[in-house]
Chains A and B, each alone.
Chain A
Amino acid sequence: MKRRGVILLLALGAVLGIGAPALADGVQSGADVHVAQSLGDRDLTVIIRRVAEVPGPVHVDVVTHAGSPAGEVALTLRAAGAPSSTTRVELGAAPGFHSGLLHVDRPGPWELAVDEATIPFVVPALVPSPWENATYGGFIAAGVLLLAALLLAVSGRPGLALVPSAGVVAAVAVGVTAALLAPSIPPVAAPGTELDPTFDNVMNPYERTSITDFSRPPVNMVPRMEDKDLVLSLTDGSSGRPVDDLMVHDSAFIHLVVVSPSGHLRHLHPVRTAPGEYRARLRDPERGVHAVAAEIARRGGGVQLLRSGVDVAGSAVAPVHDGKAETAMEIREAGRPSTITAKFGERDLQPWLGMLGHMIVVGPMTGGAAEAPIWAHVHSMIPPVPGMPGKPDESVAAYGPDVPFTYSFPLPGRYLVWIQVERDYSIVTVPKVVDVPAAKGVASK
């Protein structure tokens, strides 16, 4: 009798030792969403922090930059167009982080409105995958069957105990197979980046689709001026419908570069004001035709560069860049990699748009920037810190001082180059002119 009790206790221990499964992260682990927004006269970065639990709070940081006027912005969360929570954030005159607290009541597609700008984002649901269920289910069933087999054996029916014993083997086989195969199962299409997010597919992310190519057609961009605002109308290149599926890439929906006739550069991040409509303010613009280039990424992947021009009725005075930096240039002939290193002196640069620095290249210049055949956006990366997933935000001012860029100028000729970094919550733009020699033995085009 005593021995029987010990066996029973051991069997119970075996079952309980398997324990309750810890729910692992679902298909999307979620991450902070950083979006640069040129909202009216302000250049903001809106950071939607990872939503830890649903229903639960959503922390939103609004980062202001130097020269941004003090005031108040309204933050509103909307699901399927219906507002659910709202708050107001007071923006001080000093640049920096300003926090707001909102609330989500369910996972799914959401929209954060910052005044008239709207930012779509997805609140993921934590759903265990089918193979996790099979793994845990297999081991739990094995435990239960083992207990049954032991009970039968100690109650003097070893013949019958063979049945649950066979079950233990089968259940362990299911669990081990699922656990071993899980890493090689291809990931499912993610709502938001590959599929249009809906409440259904966020709640049930393991539904498979037959789609293998998620890419979408190219986009037509029509810029126009509305008062002081540059308004971009984006339409699908195949169906003519408004393009309302832009993804955040390099911390913005659209990286808009506007070059004035005299060569003054603006790097703006238009805000979404309606489906397919984005706008950014041109402060104190110059008169004349401005070259416009927009980098976008549609749902399904792939970054597109859209180029155009717009006539601006501004003043005759050309604005000038006051950013200064020593540069070391190693310019090679066309087609070979050239390196330009900007030296900013102090090690206090902040990441801007997730990067240490940006270099815009336009050329070779024969007429206006709008006609230049080459238009490039070169990045200088922040080296990742081992063991730290994700990128540092702008509050880390510890990078630089040297910012290197390597770019192979495809054609010989004179290029306009602008190097941009962030320091003291202010964007520093350093203009340069680069003359690229022709490759030896090749006539210049």
Chain B
Amino acid sequence: MAVVAGVLAVVAALVVLWPRGVETQPHLAETGQLRFELTPVSTRSGSNTFDLRITDRSGNAADGDVTVEPAMPQMGHALAPITAAPQAPGRYRVAGVDLFMAGQWEITVSLRGERVVIPLLLT
């Protein structure tokens, strides 16, 4: 009986106190023509890598030069734009982005004049 109660208590404590971490989620944004999906490899400060998937509104892979502009609005600091490397039709990768400080970042992704701003909170 005591064992059962002990197990129950431990399970209850785990359910209540289990740390609910944030996994890296894809961030979605759409413009009039395009649909952008950005997945950061990490949500921690430091060197980061973004995987991008860009399609038109009906789901066909988009092509062209993709530029990524990270900026930290609270600090009034912007990084030089980085050109993303194409991986497959509609898929791009930006490696080695130095997001050196924890806090609120805004990643502007642009392709053929279509721009989206994707907020990214780093811990």
Contact = CB atoms under 8 A, between A and B. Distances in A.
Interface stretch (B19-27, B46-54, B60-68, B87-95): B19-27
Contact of A209 (B8, B35, B103, B119): B103
B82 interface: no
A148 B77 contact: no
A164 B13 CA distance: 14
B96 interface: no
A236 B73 contact: yes
B28 A80 contact: yes
Contact of A163 (B5, B71, B78): B5
A182 B8 CA distance: 25
Contacts of A207: 22, 121, 123
B76 interface: yes
Contact of B2 (A81, A144, A163, A214): A163
Interface size bracket, A side? 35 or more
A171 B117 CA distance: 46
Interface in B22-51: 22, 25, 27-31, 35
Given A151-B1, A195-B121, A217 B22 contact: no
Q: From DSSP, what is the main secondary structure of chain B's interface residues?
A: mixed
A208 to B, nearest CB: 8
Nearest to B37: A80
A134 to B, nearest CB: 6
Contact of A216 (B2, B73, B108): B73
A184 interface: no
Given A209-B123, A238-B77, A141 B27 contact: no
A200 interface: yes
Contacts of A245: 73
Given A155-B1, A209-B121, A137 B16 contact: yes
A144 B69 CA distance: 54
A241 interface: yes
B83 interface: no
Contacts of A167: 5-6, 9
Contacts of A299: 73
Given A141-B9, A238-B76, A200 B15 contact: no
A164 B119 contact: no
A144 B5 contact: yes
A80 B27 CA distance: 9
Contacts of A149: 5
Nearest to B106: A196
Contacts of A164: 2, 5-6, 9
A372 to B, nearest CB: 29
B74 interface: yes
A134 B16 contact: yes
Nearest to A142: B9
A145 B9 contact: yes
Contact of B78 (A155, A209, A239): A239
A200 B6 CA distance: 35
A157 interface: yes
Given A134-B16, A196-B106, A239-B71, A148 B29 contact: no
A209 B76 CA distance: 18
Interface in A195-226: 195-201, 204, 207, 209-211, 213-217
Contact of A201 (B15, B16, B108, B121): B121
Contacts of B20: 204
A195 B104 contact: yes
Interface of A: 80-82, 133-134, 137-138, 140-141, 144-145, 148-149, 151-152, 155, 157, 160-161, 163-164, 167, 171, 195-201, 204, 207, 209-211, 213-217, 236-241, 244-245, 275, 299-300
* List of 4 A-B pairs having minimum Cβ-Cβ separation, nearest first: A238-B76, A81-B30, A196-B119, A137-B16
6 contacts: A80-B30, A81-B30, A82-B28, A196-B104, A241-B71, A245-B73
